[in-house]
Amino acid sequence: MGEREADLILVERAQAGDQVAFGLLVTKYQRKLLRLVMRLVRDPSEAEDVTQEAFIKAYRALPNFRGESAFYTWLYRIGVNTAKNWLMAQGRRMPTVSEVIDDEDDDSAGSNLLRDDETPERVIMSRQIGATVNAAMDALPEDLRTAIALREIEGLSYEEISKVMDCPIGTVRSRIFRAREAIAERLRPLLDTAPDQRW
């Protein structure tokens, strides 16, 4: 039995009134959903509240879940919408993803090796690239920023993103392409790449 099928069994039990089954779904996905919400909200205590609100909304909407998508895709969509609503209520915009660059550096395959090549110039260049990516992400429209974050940070497939964002896969591909192009355009001067060159 696959993960999707196991989730569907828990969902059916929860729809029949089994609160323990829903509790198992919460336990399974709370860290993943919190991580997603944290990238959007950025304040740890607020992110926990938004995540809890998303689970409450999911519980209330559970009778309408028909299994047309994976449970976690449906839940991510609720989480993204709840975070967006919270941000709008706070008068804030979707955040940038500077912490992601730092996380990726920590997780790289060579992070265990001594870094003799980490000269002050390289550190400064790395920070400039991070700041440029942040500025480019911050300048993106919300739909492009959400699509690229779900793809590059959360690792969702195009199909999953289309369900989370409630739009066709072609639109998802277009948004991610446009987001990547906008970020690449901002990075070109730092990396000395030609306009027609991709890295």
Domain at 65, CATH number? 1.10.1740.10
Same domain, 70 and 139: no
Mean per-residue pLDDT for 66-81?
Answer: 89
Q: Does 156 lie in the same domain as 79?
A: no
111 or 191, greater pLDDT: 191
Reading the block at residue 59, the tokens are: 């519980």
pLDDT of 101 reads 40
Give me the pLDDT at residue 118, please.
55
Least confident of 26-40, 46-60, 128-142, 181-195: 181-195
Same structural domain, 198 and 146? yes
CATH number for position 163: 1.10.10.10
**Do 74 and 8 share a domain, yes or no?**
yes
Which pLDDT tens digit goes with each residue over 145-170? 888 888 877 778 888 899 888 899 99
Q: What pLDDT does 50 receive?
A: 93
Same domain, yes or no, for 65 and 130?
Answer: no
The predicted structure's pLDDT at residue 51? 93
Total domain count, the chain: 2
Whether 86 and 131 map to the same domain: the answer is: no
Banded model confidence at residue 63, pLDDT cuts 50, 70, 90:
very high
Whether residue 71 is found in the same domain as residue 130:
no
Q: Are 19 and 73 spatial neighbours (Cβ–Cβ below 8 Å)?
A: no
Residue 75 lies in a domain: yes
For residues 145 and 57, the model is more confident at: 57
Q: Looking at the domain assignment, is residue 165 inside a domain?
A: yes
Residue 187 included in any domain: yes
Q: Is the pLDDT confidence value at 103 over 60?
A: no
H or E stretch covering 186: helix 169-191
Out of 90, 111, 143, a domain closes at 90
Residues 85 and 17 in one domain: yes
- Long-range contacts of residues 176-183, Cβ cutoff 8 Å, at least 24 apart: 176/144, 176/147, 176/148, 176/151, 178/144, 179/140, 179/144, 179/145, 179/147, 179/148, 180/148, 182/136, 182/139, 182/140, 182/144, 183/133, 183/136, 183/137, 183/148
Instruction: Check whether 85 has a pLDDT greater than 50.
Output: yes
Confidence (pLDDT) at 107: 42
Mean pLDDT over 65-73 rounds to 87
b/e burial code for range 54-85 (CB count within 10 A of at least 16 → b): bbebbeeebeebeeebbbbbbbbbbbbebbbe
Structural domain including 195 reads 126-199
Whether residues 82 and 149 share a domain: the answer is no
pLDDT band at 194 (very low <50, low <70, confident <90, very high): low
Euclidean distance between CA atoms 123 and 118, whole angstroms: 6
Domain C-terminal end among 44, 62, 90: 90
106 domain residue, yes or no? no
Q: Is residue 56 part of a domain?
A: yes
Residues 130 and 192 in one domain: yes
The answer to whether residue 99 sits within a structural domain is no
Q: Could you tell me if 52 and 7 lie in one domain?
A: yes
Q: Tell me which of 63, 90, 117 is where a domain ends.
A: 90
**Local structure of 17: helix, strand or coil:** coil
- Specify if 152 maps to a domain: yes
pLDDT of residue 105: 44
